[in-house]
Structure 1
Amino acid sequence: MLTALKLTAFGVVDESTLELGPGLTALTGETGAGKTMIVSGLGHLLGARADAGIVRRGAPRAVVEGRWEVGDGIAGRVREFGGDVDDGELVTLRQVSAQGRSRAVVGGAGVPVSTLADLVGEFATIHGQSGQIRLSNPDRQRELLDEHARPAELARYRADFAERRAAAHELAELESEAMARAREADMLRFGLDEIAAVDPLPGEDDALAAEQAKLMDLDELRELAAAAHEALSGNENDYDAMGVVGLTGTARKSMTRLSDRDEAAAPLTARATELAMLAADLAADVAGYIDDLVADPLRLEAVSGRRAALATLTRKYGATVDEVLAWAASGAARLAELDGSDSRIFELRDRIAGLDSSLAADAAAISAARHRAAGELAAAVKTELAALAMPHAELRFDVSDAQLGPHGADRIELLFSANPGSEPAPLGKVASGGELSRVRLALEVVLATGGEGHTFVFDEVDAGVGGAVGLEIGRRLQRLAEKSQVIVVTHLAQVAAFADAHFVVAKASDGQVTTSGVRSLTHDERAAELARMMGGESDSDSGLSHARDLLARAGRG
């Protein structure tokens, strides 16, 4: 239940707070006073599109705050997205900046506007004049019938239909691209087979290039190594040409004799000994290197051939062997994906066949529920219409077969006739404004009967009617308010008289800016307001007498 609604800088409303209670609440006021701002404010809590034009001129933002009494179920949902409910009271807020940016808050937690709309929509509904237009729409007519029928299979059907549509789309894409996938798979297999036949190793191209260069430069390498060895070991044919080994040996002997005489030279002797040993080892290693430099034409030919095979791969699949191997890895993964597409096609076909079967069964059950509900709802609405001074009106939900769609396999049309002998025809084509208004109210009263604890807002539901019909509208809203909170914006005194609480929206002007405010009426003030609404003087004896009589007839005397 809505306990308070506060508007700040919202349209013509500067700042106003509406304290609400259970039962039926009436909002009245002169044309242009801002009654619709109340409904519009609630609409913003129900996710209405943000519009910078709603912000009062000169204000940085418009704010709508609603306070609600909610149960444990709603409180649990609020806590799921970080909000709080304090002693059963939930605060919701919608803010629209002068630049058109929107912000929503539920229980102190910022949330998307869609989350606010979904949550508040569970315990509040607005029936405005736009609903009268929507009533002529086949989709809205189907929604109304389903509200009464409540087919258990509908939610599952909608989920299955959405899944089938997605599966059919994926299947169509896979089938249309089958030839392209086959060509791509053949190209990948050829490349992977070619690489597998060569079987390259990581870094093999660099290693073979170095080995080939060595084999091709063998004579020059031998000459350079021999010169280095002669420098180290000396020339065996020239005993006077002593190499590094001989010279360091001589130095070691001299340092040894020196250290025998002077202990301070001992460290130098150790270093000379180390140098002589290193020179000898280096000379031996160079000699071994020279021994390994053996010409091997067969190995050179093998290396050249292997490099040529690798070059075939690096021209197609990567600049280096490592890049070729990376291409092979990604190609193998892509080939597995392509090969899996065919199995996916079979999976999708089987899934679609299964969904078609369940959809057909659920659609039949939904149709049966709609056919049963169509008669029940039409009969209940006919009773309401008779009480609204339309005793001969007939309303019929025509449910006919159609192709499977998002909401079943039915085409639903609301047919109407106001007079006996008239063949029912589409509601939007044959109903007048007043008739359409009463049909809408009758439907809403019948469908809302089960909404115990719900908040219903009716905006100008009495448009196009008056007199005795207005009294019946008031009685039906009063009956609905026995189990639900009902807020009605009305221009009919006959409707307002039935309210448990009556608020008037008044406007004032300072000559430049018009503002609106809301105030609760006392019993005597209610009589004056009803007299004004009936076109009389609010302070005339006859007008007040008529108003008091109206309140008495409504049980509010």
Structure 2
Amino acid sequence: MLRSLDIRDMLIIDRLELDFQSGLNVLTGETGAGKSILLDSLGFVLGWRGRADLVRAGAAQGEVTAVFDLPEGHPARAVLAEAGLPAADELLLRRVNTAEGRKTAWVNDRRTTGEVLRALSDTLVELHGQHDDRGLLNPRGHRELLDAFAGTAPLVAAVKAAWADLAAAQRKFEAEEAALDRVRAEEEFLRHAVAELDQLDPQPGEEAELDARRRAMQAAARIREDIARARNALGPQGAEGPMTDALRWLEGVADQAEGRLDAALAALNRALIELGEAEQGVSDCLDGLDHDPAELEAAEERLFAIRALARKHGVIPDELGTFAIELRDRLAALDSGEKTLGELRKAAAEARAGHRAACDALTAARTEAAARLDAAMAGELAPLKMERAVFATKVTPAEPGPEGADSVAFTVATNPGAPAGPLNRIASGGELSRFLLALKVCLTREATALTMIFDEIDRGVGGATADAVGRRLRRLSDDAQVLVVTHSPQVAARGAHHWRVEKRVEGGMTTSTVTPLSEAERVDEIARMLAGDSITEEARAAARALLQG
């Protein structure tokens, strides 16, 4: 609820302090007295985009302060929390506009932005008038208004949850399908590469082992011929034969040499023994160098095949086995992917069916509520002298989404047989005012969180119709705060609190003032509204009758 409004140096307002009450608050005054300035000032502190030249002539800056009651659970508290601003039982908004056009805002003495003010405004105030474009005339909000009337919050929550489940299921399906498509694109490569790797079956460390064997066999081929010559040189056809002949010859004459050959014979025997060991070592080495040429060729072929495969796949030879496992896993994913994709497709279809069922339930509730709203509107329009008008809430199919699969629009036909259309295109100014009021009466439920402002919504109506407008405004104010700017005495008489807006010229300067009226002053003000400048006793009597009715 708006508790107070403090305006300083705004247009023709010098200083104005207003304390508002719950119930129906009416503001009256002659045309041009400054009633619209009050709304401009309130809109300024709420961050609404409006006229730029608000600062009073000669003043350095204009300032507006508004204080609202903020009970626990008020939606404005969520806006404050999101903006990181403190919340209390009292919400203080202050905004300054310099003569140069710079604007600065505070919420509970914390600097803030116009965007935060506008977000708070949506939870604090509703403005309704003939050119209302923030509320009932905005088709984008009609579905939300119908849901509030129907009490479909649990159904809307169910649709949102089903939509989230559907979105999650669809994301999983699409991700799996994309992954499977990528694997399908390389299926031929994978199957060929795995077959190639399986056929070769390279083992860790095999490349180094083959390389060592190859180099050993290549080296043996180069040195074997010289080693064979050396063995021949040491054997019977070489050094061993002459040495054996020499030993035999010396042993044949040793007895005759009277021991002078003993040392030579011993040395020769030792030499033959050493020569035999040398020959045996050379023979063993030669035997070790013997290999099948086909073995070298086979080793080279396998070594080259392993190295070529490693280069082909961009890995080191010892990683070919691990790489083969990775390729097999990707093939396994491909082989099992169709099954997984089918399961995910089924899950997405079930989620879509669940969302559709939730949407159908919400559509049924909206359709039923639309019929109730249309009936309620028919009951409200008759006393407003619009019994021939037909109000219809159109619930039509729309693209399914998180808030259902319906489009909702409020339409009206002002005369029987005339085509229905949007409120602001079909209804005239006076008719539109009454439509908006009737719609607001029908839609309002526990509106204690909002201050509703009606700006000359009774324009173009009078007599019994104006009285019906006033009675409906009073009904709205039973559980909420309603501010009405009006020229209608019938509406003004229904107010619980009454202010008169006046324009004065003092010292060559025009200022606007707002004065709370006593019961006696209300009689004179309503009499003025009935009779004009010359207030007669008859007008006062009529005013008293209105106030008592």
* TM-score under structure 2 length normalisation: 0.62
Report the Cα offset of residue 3 of structure 1: 1.1
Describe the shift of the 1:160–1:460 C-alpha distance in structure 2 as closer, same or farther (beyond 3 A): farther
Report the Cα offset of residue 441 of structure 1: 0.4
Counterpart residue identity of residue 148, structure 2 = E
Q: After superposition, what is the alpha-carbon deviation per residue over 1:433-465, rounded to whole angstroms, capped at 9, x for unaligned?
A: 322221110110122253245422223322332
Q: After superposition, what is the alpha-carbon deviation per residue over 1:228-267, rounded to whole angstroms, capped at 9, x for unaligned?
A: xxxxxxxxxxxxxxxxxxxxxxxxxxxxxxxxxxxxxxxx
Find out whether 1:519 has 2:522 as its counterpart. no
Q: Partner of 1:554 in structure 2?
A: 547
Matches within 5 A, 1:237-386: 309-310=306-307, 313=310, 317=314, 345-346=341-342, 348-386=344-382
Counterpart residue identity of residue 150, structure 1 = G
Describe the shift of the 1:371–1:313 C-alpha distance in structure 2 as closer, same or farther (beyond 3 A): same
Q: Partner of 1:21 in structure 2?
A: 21
CA contact (8 A) 1:27 1:35 kept: no
Equivalent of 1:405 in 400, 404, 408: 400
Find out whether 1:37 has 2:40 as its counterpart. yes
Find out whether 1:126 has 2:127 as its counterpart. yes
User: 1: CA distance between counterparts of 2:113 and 2:335?
Assistant: 43
CA contact (8 A) 1:4 1:67 kept: yes
Q: Partner of 1:239 in structure 2?
A: none
Moved more, 379-388 or 162-171: 162-171
Moved more, 345-354 or 422-431: 422-431
Counterpart residue identity of residue 372, structure 2 = E
SS of structure 1 residue aligned to 2:460: coil
Counterpart residue identity of residue 471, structure 1 = D
Describe the shift of the 1:192–1:62 C-alpha distance in structure 2 as closer, same or farther (beyond 3 A): farther
Moved more, 161-170 or 436-445: 161-170
Counterpart residue identity of residue 405, structure 1 = P
Matches within 5 A, 1:104-123: 107=108, 121-122=122-123
Q: Partner of 2:247 in structure 1?
A: none
Q: Partner of 1:4 in structure 2?
A: 4
Report the Cα offset of residue 354 of structure 1: 2.3
Report the Cα offset of residue 486 of structure 1: 0.7
CA contact (8 A) 1:35 1:489 kept: no
Describe the shift of the 1:76–1:541 C-alpha distance in structure 2 as closer, same or farther (beyond 3 A): closer
Find out whether 1:498 has 2:494 as its counterpart. yes
Q: Partner of 1:156 in structure 2?
A: 158
Q: Partner of 1:236 in structure 2?
A: none
* TM-score under structure 1 length normalisation: 0.62
Counterpart residue identity of residue 541, structure 1 = I
Equivalent of 1:464 in 446, 460, 463: 460
Q: After superposition, what is the alpha-carbon deviation per residue over 1:142-183, rounded to whole angstroms, capped at 9, x for unaligned?
A: 444333212231232244246536755775686578544521
Q: Partner of 2:478 in structure 1?
A: 482
Describe the shift of the 1:339–1:431 C-alpha distance in structure 2 as closer, same or farther (beyond 3 A): farther
Counterpart residue identity of residue 488, structure 2 = L
Describe the shift of the 1:17–1:358 C-alpha distance in structure 2 as closer, same or farther (beyond 3 A): farther
Q: Partner of 2:147 in structure 1?
A: 146
Counterpart residue identity of residue 421, structure 2 = P
Describe the shift of the 1:199–1:110 C-alpha distance in structure 2 as closer, same or farther (beyond 3 A): farther
CA contact (8 A) 2:202 2:321 kept: no
CA contact (8 A) 1:92 1:107 kept: yes
Describe the shift of the 1:314–1:454 C-alpha distance in structure 2 as closer, same or farther (beyond 3 A): same
Q: Gaps spanning 5+ residues in structure 1: where?
A: 219-294
Q: Partner of 1:434 in structure 2?
A: 430
User: 2: CA distance between counterparts of 1:96 and 1:336?
Assistant: 70
SS of structure 1 residue aligned to 2:458: coil
Q: Gaps spanning 5+ residues in structure 2: where?
A: 220-288
Q: Partner of 1:67 in structure 2?
A: 67
Q: After superposition, what is the alpha-carbon deviation per residue over 1:445-489, rounded to whole angstroms, capped at 9, x for unaligned?
A: 122253245422223322332344223222221222122111123
Q: After superposition, what is the alpha-carbon deviation per residue over 1:301-328, rounded to whole angstroms, capped at 9, x for unaligned?
A: 989986984576457537x889999999
Describe the shift of the 1:555–1:535 C-alpha distance in structure 2 as closer, same or farther (beyond 3 A): closer
Report the Cα offset of residue 367 of structure 1: 3.4
CA contact (8 A) 1:508 1:516 kept: yes
User: 2: CA distance between counterparts of 1:322 and 1:36?
Assistant: 82
User: 1: CA distance between counterparts of 2:346 and 2:103?
Assistant: 46
Q: After superposition, what is the alpha-carbon deviation per residue over 1:116-148, rounded to whole angstroms, capped at 9, x for unaligned?
A: 656654454333444479756655444443332
Q: After superposition, what is the alpha-carbon deviation per residue over 1:62-110, rounded to whole angstroms, capped at 9, x for unaligned?
A: 8764422222223975785554444x22334678899999987655667
Describe the shift of the 1:136–1:116 C-alpha distance in structure 2 as closer, same or farther (beyond 3 A): closer
Describe the shift of the 1:437–1:353 C-alpha distance in structure 2 as closer, same or farther (beyond 3 A): same
User: 2: CA distance between counterparts of 1:434 and 1:377?
Assistant: 21
CA contact (8 A) 2:500 2:514 kept: yes
Q: Partner of 1:541 in structure 2?
A: 535
User: 2: CA distance between counterparts of 1:384 and 1:547?
Assistant: 30
Describe the shift of the 1:14–1:349 C-alpha distance in structure 2 as closer, same or farther (beyond 3 A): farther
User: 2: CA distance between counterparts of 1:55 and 1:335?
Assistant: 73
Larger C-alpha radius of gyration, 1 or 2?
2
CA contact (8 A) 1:2 1:20 kept: yes
CA contact (8 A) 1:11 1:37 kept: no
User: 2: CA distance between counterparts of 1:51 and 1:201?
Assistant: 79
User: 1: CA distance between counterparts of 2:381 and 2:490?
Assistant: 17
Identity of aligned residues (%): 31
User: 2: CA distance between counterparts of 1:191 and 1:101?
Assistant: 71
SS of structure 2 residue aligned to 1:72: coil
RMSD: 5.7
CA contact (8 A) 1:41 1:64 kept: yes
Q: After superposition, what is the alpha-carbon deviation per residue over 1:495-537, rounded to whole angstroms, capped at 9, x for unaligned?
A: 23433132527588999xx997553333366566656666833
Describe the shift of the 1:331–1:482 C-alpha distance in structure 2 as closer, same or farther (beyond 3 A): farther
CA contact (8 A) 1:11 1:56 kept: yes
User: 2: CA distance between counterparts of 1:328 and 1:101?
Assistant: 70
